[in-house]
Every structure is written in structure tokens, then in C-alpha cells.
Amino acid sequence: VLMIVVLGSIFAGVASPGESAAFGVVGAVVLSAFNKTIGKEMLIQSLAETLKLSGMIFMILIGATAFSLVFNELGGTDQVIEFFGNHVDSVWTFIAIAMAIVFVLGFFIDFIEISFIIVPILVPVMHAYGIDPLWFAILLAMNLQTSFLTPPFGLSLFFVKGAAGNLLSSAQIYRGIIPFVLLQILALGLVMLFPDLVFAFV
């Protein structure tokens, strides 16, 4: 029911992702109250964790914005464009390099940091090469999705470990995600080779 409320509101066009998250919160509270599992301690803990997470994201956003402004003011963007212009003649080479950088960073950095720090550096180069922004955004989003699965800091790996407890070791989980990472890379490659997969649904 909760999945239908959250995802259904997005797919139906009733709510944006942020608004659907609010639907999810309301739905979770209602379900918890219906099952008589809600309590004062649970609410306080949930509010505290939400406050911590929101504060962390805003601090990252503030730091990333400051970094981008300083980087641009010091001419970093121009140097990046000049570097790719002088050393990378092919659009496909730039895309391959960009995707490789984001993929490798996904092993060690959360998707939020990559989005706020790396993407603003790549976007001006994207415009310089005349790449379609929507297509490039989809490629980045699919690549960032892989960061949830790649060790050692993939968020999904921690969720699985937390749910499995002692039934699975971290090494077993790392081996288990290999086929899924390969499928993500395959899907990314297909979207790169066949851009119409993106534009067909626009």
C-alpha cells in the first residue's frame, strides 16, 4: 500500500518526488497507527533522524555551491573546457570519460556529493559539445544509480546487511551484487548507443 501511495502518486502525475515523499510519511504514520505500532519514542527518533539527514544534505549543498562558485571564479570551468577541447576530439570520448569518472567516484562518494560537485563541472563541457541535456542527464542518473550497489560505500549494501544480519557476510553481498552492476552498465550502454530509448517517452 505504501509503495502504491508513493510511486503511484509520481507515475499518475499527482505529485512530484518531493511531494510523494510527504505522501509516504503520512501513509507510513497511518499504517503504523492502524497496526498499533506507533509510539512517542518512534516519532521522536524518526524526527531526529530526518533532521540529521536534512541537515547533512543542506551542508553538502552549501559546501558544493561554494566550491562551484569558487571553481568558476578561478576559471576552472574554462580550463576544463579547454582541456577537453584540446585533448578530446570526439563527443563519445568525452561521454565515456565522464561516465567512467562518475562510476569510479560512486565507489567512494555518495550520489549527493557527485551530483552537487561533479555535475556542475561536466555541464558546461556538455553544452560546449552540443550534447542533448536530457539525454546526458539520464545517462548521469543511471550511472549514479549504480553507486547504490558498488562497494564499499553503496547504500543498498548497508540496507541488505542490516536486514540480513549475520545470515550474510559483507563479502557474500559484494559478490552477489556483481550481476546487478553488470546489468546497470549494460542498460547504460544501451541508452548511450540508442538515445531514442530516452526520447521515445518524452
Q: Domain extents for the chain? A: 1-38, 75-199
8 C-beta neighbours (distance < 10 Å), count: 14
Mean pLDDT by 10 residues, the chain (202 residues): 84 84 86 84 86 83 81 81 79 89 85 81 86 90 87 79 80 88 91 83 62
Residue 79: the pLDDT is 84
Task: Tell me, rounded to whole angstroms, the distance of Cα 161 from its chain centroid.
Answer: 20
The reported pLDDT for the residue numbered 202 is 61
Predicted pLDDT of residue 159: 76
170, 161 Cβ separation under 8 angstroms:
yes
Can you give the pLDDT at residue 118?
82
Query: How high is the pLDDT of residue 182?
Result: 92
The kind and range of the H/E element at 165 are none
3-state secondary structure of 168: coil
Identify which of 105, 155, 94 has the alpha carbon closest to the alpha carbon of residue 127: 94
Note the pLDDT of residue 171.
Answer: 85
- Per-residue confidence (pLDDT) for residue 128, from 0 to 100: 84
